[in-house]
A and B are shown apart, each in its own frame.
Chain A
């Protein structure tokens, strides 16, 4: 921006200079045309004496020696018939392209090594005998005064445009300094983060940057939690595997006992891996639409449970969406729907409604109604996921983990028309800044 401003001003200066020169030339042409008409009015045919103006030519510069304004009149053969007194001792141009009668010419020529502007007009003059005599009137003016005027204009233009350029550069520099101050602060904050001197970006940013810094903070938090979760998962995994490994080290094991321990280890690995990949609920304000995801799950589950001819009905608006990572949502709903399909007689119903506390998603099945103690056990948040056996709620443990980390409330209950129901209350979206 700072470099562009002088360039722009330079181009402006060139344009103004050209326009000014053009207007000066036009004014000079008009002046010379006026001198021509005054000469035309003053000149008379004096018979054998040729052309004369006597004292009818009022412009004093025509009478002043080398005044800078000259005139001559030439015949069709180029012979000079008259010249102004000011042009005495000067050789005015003899050879030029004679224009047609009544046509005017304006241009530049050299007289005595100096640049001069000329105005030329070819007229037909009627002599005493009524014959038409072609005459060429030429008016010459020194170009020096015009060049001086132009040089003076250029000096003034340079001074003023220079001042404008300086002020502009100063202004742009000030704007850049103030405008980029928050970005410099952001860069400084990021450096501090890199160096480990800070653990998040400050909240003190202009409103235009708050969306960026807010999301960066979410990303940083998410990355930190993810790292922590991986570390914890690895620790938990190692710890949980030790017990079955210790059992397996015992050589006096039957095949069924060995198989039981391997199955336990498989459960532990499955649970911990699925727990580790859940995003931790820190979605960068990107929503996942529910309907397409539920339709994909429906198609999958209809294939998996094809033998039982289950019916899955989805009553959800196309616009219903939740601020949750797609993979987490698939894992959450996949497990709950799979459980519903396993539990149902024939029918699973999925519905959603928007409430003031957030979206409420219900998954109902027409199978056995849950007993009160079963509901109590399902609502028990303290139960460790890796203590479930295969097919005994490992999926539910994953559901519990994701729901807890994403602030989703799980409500298990009975369906009024028979069967069981699980409801998920997704947190209401916080208003954007």
Chain B
């Protein structure tokens, strides 16, 4: 999943980026509202974490303008002012959730995951697709109770495809959502991930969770089953 971190305090920005990267997110970051506005309009993020007090354009205005431009990715606001007036103002601008400073990074990550999951239409952090279970909170997956040993990128690719089950996801879309803007787009690393994922999830070729649509991309074929 690709996240945009907008925070003007350099140290906090670096800490957030570090923790989000450790949690398997591809991170783009910036320190002012103007750049945030540009990046949000330019790239298809899965989530933006936005500080309210930003130089050039404040966070609330940035979010309002994104929403006016019909940019729909979920937005988590960080605010030092946690009065209800500020919360209402922030969420009415189009943000989806807020975290008051100072915060525990675990809480920010949990809220970020929940927002991404909810924006894809999943209420529970545990996603079940028949024998395949994905725990978005623990960032793990299992097949028929057998835990899968997935690398961060493999897990991210699986989660992204699973959250769009039944939809065709192009290779470039997958690349954009798994890697930050500095990634080399010509690499065939996606094909390698998908091949490895198939082997790990379905070593006997019985489930066939991901199909390749030549020239179009991949499709997660398993339907969601209730827990």
Where the two chains meet, the residues of A that have a C-beta atom closer than 8 Å to any C-beta of B are: 262, 266, 270, 274, 277, 296-297, 299-300, 303-304, 306-307, 309, 326-327, 330-331, 333-335
Contacts and interface: CB of A to CB of B under 8 A. Distances in A.
B202 interface: no
Contacts of A299: 91-92
30 contacts: A262-B102, A266-B102, A270-B82, A270-B100, A274-B82, A274-B83, A277-B83, A296-B88, A296-B92, A297-B84, A297-B88, A300-B84, A300-B87, A300-B91, A303-B91, A303-B95, A303-B96, A303-B97, A304-B87, A304-B97, A306-B97, A306-B118, A307-B114, A307-B123, A327-B85, A330-B84, A330-B85, A331-B83, A334-B87, A334-B88
Contacts of A262: 102
Interface string B113-156: 01000100001000000000000000000000000000000000
A300 B85 CA distance: 10
B101 to A, nearest CB: 9
A327 B84 CA distance: 8
A403 to B, nearest CB: 15
Interface of B: 82-85, 87-88, 91-92, 95-98, 100, 102, 114, 118, 123
Contacts of A309: 123
A307 B88 contact: no
A326 B83 CA distance: 12
A309 to B, nearest CB: 8
A334 B84 contact: yes
B47 to A, nearest CB: 14
What's the dominant secondary structure at chain A's contact region?
helix
Contacts of A304: 87, 91, 97-98
Contacts of A307: 114, 118, 123
Nearest to A395: B84
A266 B104 CA distance: 12
- Residue of B82, B91, B95, B96 contacting most chain A CB atoms (<10 Å): B91
B74 to A, nearest CB: 10
Contacts of A306: 96-97, 118
A270 B96 CA distance: 23
B109 to A, nearest CB: 16
Contacts of B83: 274, 277, 327, 330-331
A324 to B, nearest CB: 13
Given A299-B91, A300-B88, A300-B91, 17 more contacts: A274-B82, A274-B83, A300-B92, A303-B95, A303-B97, A304-B91, A304-B97, A306-B97, A307-B114, A307-B123, A327-B83, A327-B85, A330-B83, A331-B84, A333-B84, A334-B84, A334-B87
A90 B98 CA distance: 111
Contacts of A297: 84, 88
A266 B102 CA distance: 7
Contacts of B84: 297, 300, 330-331, 333-335
Contacts of A300: 84, 87-88, 91-92
Nearest to A333: B84
A304 B77 CA distance: 12
A350 to B, nearest CB: 15
Nearest to A296: B88
Contacts of A330: 83-85, 88
Contacts of A333: 84
A385 to B, nearest CB: 15
A326 B89 CA distance: 13
A335 B82 CA distance: 11
A341 to B, nearest CB: 13
A254 to B, nearest CB: 16
Contacts of B82: 270, 274
Contacts of A296: 88, 92
A336 B123 CA distance: 25
A303 B100 CA distance: 16
Nearest to A331: B84
Contacts of A326: 85
A304 B91 CA distance: 9
Nearest to B100: A270
A297 B83 CA distance: 12
Contacts of B97: 303-304, 306
A316 B2 CA distance: 43
A331 B72 CA distance: 29
A302 to B, nearest CB: 9
- Residue of A262, A303, A326 contacting most chain B CB atoms (<10 Å): A303
User: 6 tightest CB-CB pairs across the interface, nearest first?
Assistant: A334-B84, A330-B84, A300-B91, A300-B88, A330-B85, A296-B88
